[in-house]
Structure 1
Amino acid sequence: MYLSDLLRGLGRRWYFVVLGLLATAALSVGAMRLVPVDYVAQSSVLLLPSSSTVGTGGNPYLALGGLQGAADVLARAMTDDTISTHIAPQGSKVKYTVTRDTTTNGPMLIIMATDVTSDGALSTLNATLAQAPNVLRQLQSSVGAPSNTLIGLGTITQDTIAQPEIKSQLRAVILAGVVGLALTVFGTNLLDALVIRRKREPRTSEAVSTARSDAEPSAEPMAPVVTTPTRWHTIAAGPQDAPREPFPARATLRSTSPERSRPSSTTDEAGIPASAPRGD
């Protein structure tokens, strides 16, 4: 199918195109309402060295080296089922992630909370920030680390207003629009082809019946064909050794009513027909 044929079909059934566009718009609005906007709240926390490492009056930011491994361990521990169930119960639309910030060289974690409401995202972020120090303390206590060597956490940034994120909603609306337009175009052309085929069927059947009536044999019987075999005769006036020539065959006779063929004339020994007068 060429593009010109496609456009002509859409032009012939323009009313179906209009209905399809309206249905596509309704489908897009439905997708927008079914897939709500997500709100995201984010915070950045930094692992701080212990007091024994910094020393009295020392600067903790000068001793951040070697804490990247501890940051990875804490990020993995925050995804434990016990902690995740407490922060984001099963069946709810609340989500949170804790990952190490790979864009920096320091032991920094990025905590991101997502919910369908702005207040829900902020509440989830606060709950995650409250759980992070406790999890870090339990990890160090489980290996018997002295209290003066415990690593701490410091909040660097924290959102106070959740930001809307429309990626999921926009993706659903685009998908609904593409599906609606595809169904409109191909459905309209399919309907146009069916309508044209139905219009051509009576003409085709009429032409076939006419051709069949013309091709039927007539009821009149075929006339028999009578042929007369070629007879060889000799010429009486010629010498006996003269070459013999055949008489031309009689024309094929066609008759609608068969007749008995007349008896052929007989010749005598001299080759002269019996009905011809003889000379003295």
Structure 2
Amino acid sequence: MDLAEIWRVMRRRWYVLVPGLLLTAVLAVGLQVLLPAKYQSQSTVELLNSQKATAAFDGNPFLSTQVSLTGMADSLARALGSDGSAAELKSRGLTGGYQAKIADNAQGPLLWLTTSGSDRSRVLSADRLLTDYAAERLREFQTQQSVPPAAMIRMTVIVPPQAPVAQTKTRIEYLVLAALAGLVLSLVATFFVEARRRSAAGPPRGRHVVGSRPRREPVPVDADA
């Protein structure tokens, strides 16, 4: 079947194809309405050496970076992702999802703190809450080990919680899948109806059907012979 024949079938069975396309459009609009927009906010924090350790660098903590700080950043990220931290953050009012991870391509103890949800204002407040909680957990780790205040690793905010940005990738993917599925089903239904109608109509006249014997006309008999 060539493209011309496909087009003729679509025109002939428009009463099947058009409703299918209309239902696909309704489905796409419904998904657009039912799937809420997702927003994401992110902050970047960095772990700094203790006041005691930076004394040799004129008190500048950015001149004193150690490998141990990156290890501590990884430990802090894992702790923030634990069930206990999730329950504590939820009790403090954090809604939606969140994530704490070492920043991609980071050359130091940098952490990304990310929150997400469908309410723009709550996403931003949740990111602020997560950032404050991360500093609290860092102090808590060291207090449990009886670390003197002057020797404690500190945390500073490099990039404060940013204004939430809409995340449309997943939404668009669902819409595209729904549109493709609707188009395919509409075409399948169209050609199914065409095949049924052709089968019911039988083979076209004037054409030899494979497997059938040609009909022989009776030979007239001459009565005078």
TM-score, normalising length: structure 2: 0.82
> Which residue number corresponds to residue 31 of structure 1?
31
For 1:76 and 1:144, locate their aligned partners in 2 and report how far apart those are by CA, in whole Å: 21
C-alpha deviations, 1:179-229, integer Å up to 9, x for none? 11111111111111112222228x9xxxxxxx9xx9xxxxxxxxxxxxxxx
TM-score, normalising length: structure 1: 0.67
Please state how far the C-alpha of 1:16 moved relative to its aligned partner.
Answer: 2.0
For 1:3 and 1:159, locate their aligned partners in 2 and report how far apart those are by CA, in whole Å: 55
> Which residue number corresponds to residue 129 of structure 1?
131
- The residue type equivalent to 1:48 in the other structure is L
Aligned length: 206
- The residue type equivalent to 1:185 in the other structure is L
Does 1:99 find its partner at 2:96? no
> Which residue number corresponds to residue 197 of structure 2?
195
Task: Please tell me whether the aligned partners of residues 17 and 185 of structure 1 are also in contact (alpha carbons under 8 angstroms).
Answer: yes
The DSSP-based 3-state class of the residue aligned with 1:39 is: strand
For 1:5 and 1:93, locate their aligned partners in 2 and report how far apart those are by CA, in whole Å: 56
Please state how far the C-alpha of 1:159 moved relative to its aligned partner.
Answer: 3.5
Alignment identity in percent? 30
> Which residue number corresponds to residue 219 of structure 1?
none
For 1:102 and 1:165, locate their aligned partners in 2 and report how far apart those are by CA, in whole Å: 19
C-alpha deviations, 1:62-98, integer Å up to 9, x for none? 0122211111010000011121123347xx9701110
Task: Please tell me whether the aligned partners of residues 50 and 154 of structure 2 are also in contact (alpha carbons under 8 angstroms).
Answer: yes
> What are the within-5 Å matches in structure 2 for residues 1-280 of structure 1?
2-55=2-55, 57-66=58-67, 67-88=69-90, 94-200=96-202
Task: Please tell me whether the aligned partners of residues 94 and 114 of structure 1 are also in contact (alpha carbons under 8 angstroms).
Answer: yes
Task: Please tell me whether the aligned partners of residues 88 and 124 of structure 1 are also in contact (alpha carbons under 8 angstroms).
Answer: no
* Superposition RMSD in Å: 2.6
Question: Structure 1's 119 and 12: CA in aligned 2 closer, same or farther, altered over 3 A?
Answer: same
C-alpha deviations, 1:24-62, integer Å up to 9, x for none? 111111111222110111100010110110017421000
Please state how far the C-alpha of 1:146 moved relative to its aligned partner.
Answer: 2.5
Structure 1's unaligned 5+ residue stretches are 204-210, 215-280
Structure 2's unaligned 5+ residue stretches are 206-212, 217-225
The DSSP-based 3-state class of the residue aligned with 1:51 is: coil
Please state how far the C-alpha of 1:6 moved relative to its aligned partner.
Answer: 3.0
The DSSP-based 3-state class of the residue aligned with 1:97 is: strand
For 1:53 and 1:102, locate their aligned partners in 2 and report how far apart those are by CA, in whole Å: 27
For 2:186 and 2:53, locate their aligned partners in 1 and report how far apart those are by CA, in whole Å: 69
